[in-house]
Amino acid sequence: PIDNYFKGMEKGNAETYLKAFPEFMDMDKNIDEDYMEEMLDNLEDEYGEKIKVSYKITKKEKIKKDDLENVAKYIDEKYDEDVKVSAGYEVKVKATIKGKDDEDTDSQKMYVYKIDGKWKYMSISPETAKKALK
Protein backbone atom coordinates (compact mmCIF):
# COMPACT_ATOMS: atom_id res chain seq x y z
CA PRO A 1 0.00 0.00 0.00
CA ILE A 2 2.85 2.41 0.71
CA ASP A 3 4.24 1.78 -2.75
CA ASN A 4 0.84 2.47 -4.38
CA TYR A 5 0.45 5.61 -2.27
CA PHE A 6 3.74 7.18 -3.34
CA LYS A 7 3.70 5.85 -6.93
CA GLY A 8 0.19 7.20 -7.44
CA MET A 9 1.32 10.55 -6.06
CA GLU A 10 4.41 10.65 -8.27
CA LYS A 11 2.50 9.74 -11.44
CA GLY A 12 -0.65 11.68 -10.56
CA ASN A 13 -2.53 8.41 -11.11
CA ALA A 14 -5.78 8.02 -9.18
CA GLU A 15 -6.15 4.29 -9.89
CA THR A 16 -2.74 3.47 -8.40
CA TYR A 17 -3.15 5.90 -5.50
CA LEU A 18 -6.57 4.50 -4.56
CA LYS A 19 -5.17 0.93 -4.40
CA ALA A 20 -3.42 1.99 -1.18
CA PHE A 21 -6.70 2.50 0.67
CA PRO A 22 -9.47 0.08 1.71
CA GLU A 23 -12.52 0.30 -0.57
CA PHE A 24 -14.93 0.93 2.31
CA MET A 25 -13.31 4.32 2.89
CA ASP A 26 -14.89 5.47 -0.41
CA MET A 27 -11.81 7.54 -1.24
CA ASP A 28 -12.82 7.33 -4.91
CA LYS A 29 -15.68 9.76 -4.17
CA ASN A 30 -13.15 12.54 -3.65
CA ILE A 31 -10.09 11.32 -5.50
CA ASP A 32 -10.22 11.21 -9.27
CA GLU A 33 -7.84 12.08 -12.11
CA ASP A 34 -8.58 15.82 -11.67
CA TYR A 35 -7.71 15.65 -7.97
CA MET A 36 -4.47 13.80 -8.72
CA GLU A 37 -3.58 16.21 -11.52
CA GLU A 38 -4.03 19.10 -9.10
CA MET A 39 -1.86 17.31 -6.51
CA LEU A 40 0.87 16.83 -9.11
CA ASP A 41 0.58 20.47 -10.27
CA ASN A 42 1.04 21.63 -6.68
CA LEU A 43 4.13 19.43 -6.31
CA GLU A 44 5.52 20.77 -9.60
CA ASP A 45 4.86 24.35 -8.46
CA GLU A 46 6.92 23.67 -5.35
CA TYR A 47 9.67 21.38 -6.67
CA GLY A 48 9.75 21.89 -10.43
CA GLU A 49 8.96 19.46 -13.23
CA LYS A 50 9.81 15.75 -13.40
CA ILE A 51 8.62 14.86 -9.91
CA LYS A 52 10.20 11.76 -8.39
CA VAL A 53 9.09 10.39 -5.06
CA SER A 54 11.27 7.88 -3.30
CA TYR A 55 10.87 6.43 0.15
CA LYS A 56 12.59 4.21 2.63
CA ILE A 57 11.07 2.45 5.61
CA THR A 58 13.37 3.35 8.49
CA LYS A 59 11.50 1.55 11.26
CA LYS A 60 8.60 -0.86 11.53
CA GLU A 61 6.76 -2.03 14.57
CA LYS A 62 4.23 -4.83 14.64
CA ILE A 63 0.84 -3.81 16.02
CA LYS A 64 -0.47 -5.98 18.85
CA LYS A 65 -3.51 -8.22 18.44
CA ASP A 66 -5.65 -6.24 20.94
CA ASP A 67 -4.93 -3.05 19.02
CA LEU A 68 -5.87 -4.74 15.72
CA GLU A 69 -9.22 -5.70 17.26
CA ASN A 70 -9.79 -2.06 18.23
CA VAL A 71 -9.03 -0.98 14.65
CA ALA A 72 -11.55 -3.55 13.37
CA LYS A 73 -14.18 -2.24 15.84
CA TYR A 74 -13.41 1.32 14.76
CA ILE A 75 -13.89 0.38 11.09
CA ASP A 76 -17.18 -1.31 11.97
CA GLU A 77 -18.41 1.77 13.84
CA LYS A 78 -17.18 4.44 11.45
CA TYR A 79 -17.70 2.73 8.09
CA ASP A 80 -20.31 0.09 9.01
CA GLU A 81 -18.01 -2.62 7.63
CA ASP A 82 -17.45 -5.92 9.39
CA VAL A 83 -13.83 -6.72 8.56
CA LYS A 84 -11.05 -8.90 9.88
CA VAL A 85 -7.86 -7.01 10.66
CA SER A 86 -5.31 -9.82 10.95
CA ALA A 87 -2.03 -7.89 11.02
CA GLY A 88 -0.66 -4.39 11.08
CA TYR A 89 2.47 -2.30 11.27
CA GLU A 90 3.34 1.18 12.33
CA VAL A 91 6.07 2.18 9.91
CA LYS A 92 8.30 5.19 9.88
CA VAL A 93 8.75 6.31 6.31
CA LYS A 94 11.41 8.70 5.11
CA ALA A 95 10.10 10.12 1.83
CA THR A 96 11.94 12.36 -0.61
CA ILE A 97 10.15 14.44 -3.21
CA LYS A 98 12.49 15.65 -5.89
CA GLY A 99 11.80 17.90 -8.85
CA LYS A 100 13.93 19.80 -11.34
CA ASP A 101 14.21 22.85 -9.04
CA ASP A 102 14.07 21.58 -5.48
CA GLU A 103 13.78 18.58 -3.18
CA ASP A 104 12.53 17.85 0.29
CA THR A 105 12.86 14.89 2.63
CA ASP A 106 10.41 14.27 5.40
CA SER A 107 9.69 11.46 7.84
CA GLN A 108 6.20 10.37 8.71
CA LYS A 109 4.43 7.56 10.50
CA MET A 110 2.11 5.42 8.40
CA TYR A 111 -0.15 2.59 9.44
CA VAL A 112 -0.70 -0.45 7.24
CA TYR A 113 -3.21 -3.14 8.08
CA LYS A 114 -4.06 -6.51 6.61
CA ILE A 115 -7.81 -6.08 6.18
CA ASP A 116 -9.71 -9.13 4.94
CA GLY A 117 -6.45 -10.54 3.61
CA LYS A 118 -5.26 -7.42 1.76
CA TRP A 119 -2.65 -4.92 2.91
CA LYS A 120 -4.04 -1.38 2.97
CA TYR A 121 -3.01 2.03 4.28
CA MET A 122 -5.11 3.89 6.81
CA SER A 123 -3.96 7.00 8.63
CA ILE A 124 -5.64 5.87 11.84
CA SER A 125 -3.34 4.73 14.63
CA PRO A 126 -4.42 2.00 17.06
CA GLU A 127 -4.42 4.60 19.86
CA THR A 128 -6.76 6.91 17.93
CA ALA A 129 -9.05 3.98 17.08
CA LYS A 130 -9.21 3.01 20.76
CA LYS A 131 -10.01 6.58 21.88
CA ALA A 132 -12.73 6.89 19.23
CA LEU A 133 -14.46 3.80 20.60
CA LYS A 134 -15.01 5.25 24.08
All residues at 6 or more sequence positions from 61 whose CB lies less than 8 Å from its CB, including other chains: 89, 90, 91
CB-CB contact of 5 with 96 (8 Å): no
Give mean pLDDT, residues 73-83.
Answer: 96
- This prediction has a pTM of 0.93
Instruction: Answer yes or no: is pLDDT of 53 > 80.
Output: yes
Instruction: Answer yes or no: is pLDDT of 92 > 80.
Output: yes
Q: According to the model, what pLDDT value does residue 14 have?
A: 97
Instruction: Answer yes or no: is pLDDT of 134 > 80.
Output: no
Share of the chain above pLDDT 70, in %: 100
Mean residue pLDDT across the chain: 97
